[in-house]
Amino acid sequence: MKRLIMGNEAVAMGALEAGMTFFAAYPITPASEIMHFLAKEEGRIVFMHAEDEIASMHMAIGGSLAGSRSMTSTSGPGMSLKQEGIGLAHMMGVPMVVINVMRVGPSTGMPTLPSQGDILQARYGSHGDYNPIVFYPASVSECYVYIQQAFNAAEESRTPVILLLDGFLAHLAETVDLRSIRVPRKKRTLPPLGKGTRHFTGLLSKDGIPQTKDTEYYRKWYAGYKKRVERVADKYAYDSYLPHPDSETLLIAYGITSRVIRPLRKEYSIYRPIRIFPVLEERIRDITSRYKRIIVVEMNDGQYRGELQKILRRDILGVSILGGTINLREVKAKINELL
Amino acid sequence: MNSYKDYVKWDRMPTTWCGGCSIGMVFKQLTFTLEQIQMPKERLVVVSGIGCSGRAAGYFDVDSVHTTHGRALPVAEGIKRANPELNVVVFSGDGDLTGIGGNHLIHTSRRDTDLTVICINNEIYGMTGGQMAPTTKRGAVTLTSAAGNAYYPLNLQGLLTSVPRHFYARSSAYRINHLQKCIKEGLGWKGFAFIDVISFCIENNGRRLGYKNGFEMLDKLKADFKINTDPSGPLAANELGIIQNENQKS
């Protein structure tokens, strides 16, 4: 049976389907519907309306440590506040999911028009070196799928996995047949608190004992952590590629932007990463090598373009759609200016 | 039968704490209390924040969590809500719990989440060298109040008893029997129990204030505070005791 649901609802439903039993958040548009939906589940799941974004992030960490699949959701300004806890969860190895429904920033910016301005924040927003897995769906049914995959990747990598949405996708209503979508669920990987003598700490530690002056050990630990995440990320290498036989130009877009530019597939090849971090390096290197020109279309000032330039070490053109409004005509005009 | 020694991770000894520090004294009283009530180890989780007191979590031979600065309470609350079977003890300092974590203190106590919080209140940020804390006395000279602290300290008793149902105990590192009683009652209290343990920091506060050693500071606690076993109202500034209100109706 098909149902008309919006992106935020699909995320909440997908989380329940993934076995999430702990949710903590703080109200913020355009992410609040996730919270409203899950508030009705209170009793069946632990639902915490926290005093702030920092608390909700850390409650979710506690919930996960105690044995629940846990999640928090927010938008850009709240994401900035969660970054402290994201670093902690990476250091302690806590599986959980963080949702960021992006709106125009910086700061309060343009609530609640959509943007893709937190791409780099999702990758680099916490402190120190870390290597997050980030998914970005482009339809309501994909919201339902990739929230579940985010939980799976979180379990396997024992890290906080980020699901990015934008205000557009979050509020987009589409008909979806949820029952036709089945995502196998990964087992819990972190034994719950109690019964053990483990010590979880944000300090660099070895078997629970802080190693705060051991450079060699840090290097070894970091290499192992990075490899662990990459190995898991490899299993979740989602993307989509629509090649056009006559096109010398490849358009790269993700999330809602990829939806908007879809009609351009009649003229250009289009590549869309879904697991946007770690960047699908080999795949993108391979595909882009076939094209004379690469244009990244995104609702920010070239954030993902910079990342790709760094990896491909070649000039990449960019179409930036700023200020929370996007339409195909404007994208087309800007592409034509570049060609 | 668990001995108090069974609650300690002996391979982590000696602790990081300085000679003459009061944190170890409180740590020890907590382990004594755990023995007295025969707390099952598999049902106990200790959570701490950042600072000298925050290191305590790692010295307990149970599952423990050493969180980021100020976030012991939300992590502890997440643990307790996810698994109400666990006894969750938060062991942290005044700067961590009432300064950077102050907002969480207001709201975790308001939600009356079943946690036992042991706050090592030494009136200073010790680990970072001795900067003034929200609990530092007015006029006290610290690294960040060179001309004397211009502000009044936080009224923790007032804050924590402002919620209809509450458990606020004030004890000191000197009155160890009283401290054990407070911890025991706090652990038995179904709801948010806050134990404000008046402590001291010799190395990064006491010496600047003119104390020669930890013992002198301990002696000062003995002289300054007296126990009120049956407080009829709020505790006076120099009193130790337990203020609790079941407030079943609300």
pLDDT in tens, B184-222: 999 999 999 999 999 999 999 999 999 999 999 999 999
Tens-digit pLDDT profile for residues A59-96: 999 999 999 999 999 999 999 999 999 999 999 999 99
**A11 and A159 in a common domain:** yes
Q: How far apart (Å, rounded) are the C-alpha atoms in residues B230 and B227? A: 9
Nearest to B9 by CA among A198, A300, A49: A198
Report yes or no on A68 lying in a domain: yes
**A267 and A165 in a common domain:** no
Q: Do B74 and A62 touch (CB under 8 A)?
A: yes
The pLDDT confidence band at residue A198, using thresholds 50, 70 and 90, is very high
- Among residues 61-90 of chain B, which lie with CB inside 8 Å of chain A? 61-68, 71, 73-83, 85-86
- Which is it for the CA torsion A156, A160, A166, A169, positive or negative? positive
Residue A1 has pLDDT above 90, yes or no: no
Nearest to A158 by CA among A205, A240, A247, A96: A96
What CATH number corresponds to the domain at position A331?
Answer: 3.40.50.920
Residue A202 has pLDDT above 90, yes or no: yes
Residues A172-186 have a mean pLDDT of 97
What CATH number corresponds to the domain at position A39?
Answer: 3.40.50.970
Name the domain count of chain B: 1
Range of the domain at B127: 4-242
User: Is residue A15 classed exposed, middle or buried when 0-12, 13-18 and 19+ CB atoms within 10 A define those classes?
Assistant: buried
Report yes or no on B192 lying in a domain: yes
A127: tokens are 């402190």
Name the domain count of chain A: 2
DSSP code at position A98: E
Residue B250 has pLDDT above 50, yes or no: no
Q: Contact B201/B122 with Cβ under 8 angstroms?
A: yes
**A137 and A265 in a common domain:** no
CB proximity A202 to B under 8 Å: yes
Instruction: Please spell the DSSP secondary structure of A234-263, one letter per residue.
Output: HHT--EEEE--TT-SEEEE--THHHHHTGG
A90: tokens are 């990476």
**A292 and A173 in a common domain:** no
Residue B249 has pLDDT above 60, yes or no: no
The pLDDT confidence band at residue B88, using thresholds 50, 70 and 90, is very high
Backbone angles phi, psi at A173, to 5 degrees: -105, 130
All residues at 6 or more sequence positions from A108 whose CB lies less than 8 Å from its CB, including other chains? A77
Residue numbers in A near B61 (CB within 8 A): 197
**A145 and A19 in a common domain:** yes
CB proximity A54 to B under 8 Å: yes
**A166 and A260 in a common domain:** no
ipTM score for this prediction: 0.97
Q: How far apart (Å, rounded) are the C-alpha atoms in residues A138 and A274? A: 8
What CATH number corresponds to the domain at position B16?
Answer: 3.40.50.970
Report yes or no on A234 lying in a domain: no
Final residue of a structural domain among A157, A180, A203: A180
Tens-digit pLDDT profile for residues B67-85: 999 999 999 999 999 999 9
| Best mutation target, B71, B109, B127, to test chain A (most A CBs within 10 A) | B71
- Return the percentage of chain A with pLDDT > 90, whole number: 98
Question: What integer best gives the mean pLDDT of chain B?
Answer: 97
Report yes or no on B49 lying in a domain: yes
Tens-digit pLDDT profile for residues A27-67: 999 999 999 999 999 999 999 999 999 999 999 999 999 99
Q: Contact A289/A240 with Cβ under 8 angstroms?
A: no
Q: Do A197 and B67 touch (CB under 8 A)?
A: no
Q: Contact A24/A56 with Cβ under 8 angstroms?
A: yes
Residues A303-316 have a mean pLDDT of 97
Report yes or no on B230 lying in a domain: yes
Final residue of a structural domain among A180, A213, A228: A180
Q: Do B65 and A200 touch (CB under 8 A)?
A: yes
Report yes or no on A214 lying in a domain: no
Residues B163-176 have a mean pLDDT of 97
Residues A256-262 have a mean pLDDT of 97
Tens-digit pLDDT profile for residues B20-62: 999 999 999 999 999 999 999 999 999 999 999 999 999 999 9
User: Crossing angle for the helix pair A140-157 and A215-235, nearest 10 degrees?
Assistant: 140
CB proximity A71 to B under 8 Å: no
Tens-digit pLDDT profile for residues A118-146: 999 999 999 999 999 999 999 999 999 99
Question: What integer best gives the mean pLDDT of chain A?
Answer: 97
Residue B248 has pLDDT above 80, yes or no: no
Q: Contact B193/B182 with Cβ under 8 angstroms?
A: no
B109: tokens are 């106590």
Q: Contact A249/A266 with Cβ under 8 angstroms?
A: no
Report yes or no on A148 lying in a domain: yes
Residue A18 has pLDDT above 70, yes or no: yes
- pLDDT computed for residue A195 by the predictor: 86
Report yes or no on B248 lying in a domain: no
Strand, helix or coil for residue B173: coil
- Return the percentage of chain B with pLDDT > 90, whole number: 98
B83: tokens are 């698994």
| Best mutation target, B48, B63, B85, B112, to test chain A (most A CBs within 10 A) | B63
Which residues are registered as beta bridge partners of A161?
A97
Residues A225-234 have a mean pLDDT of 98
Report yes or no on B247 lying in a domain: no
**A252 and A174 in a common domain:** no
Range of the domain at A264: 239-338
Final residue of a structural domain among A159, A180, A201: A180
**A159 and A20 in a common domain:** yes
The pLDDT confidence band at residue A196, using thresholds 50, 70 and 90, is very high
Q: Contact A137/A220 with Cβ under 8 angstroms?
A: no
- pLDDT computed for residue A173 by the predictor: 98
Report yes or no on B173 lying in a domain: yes
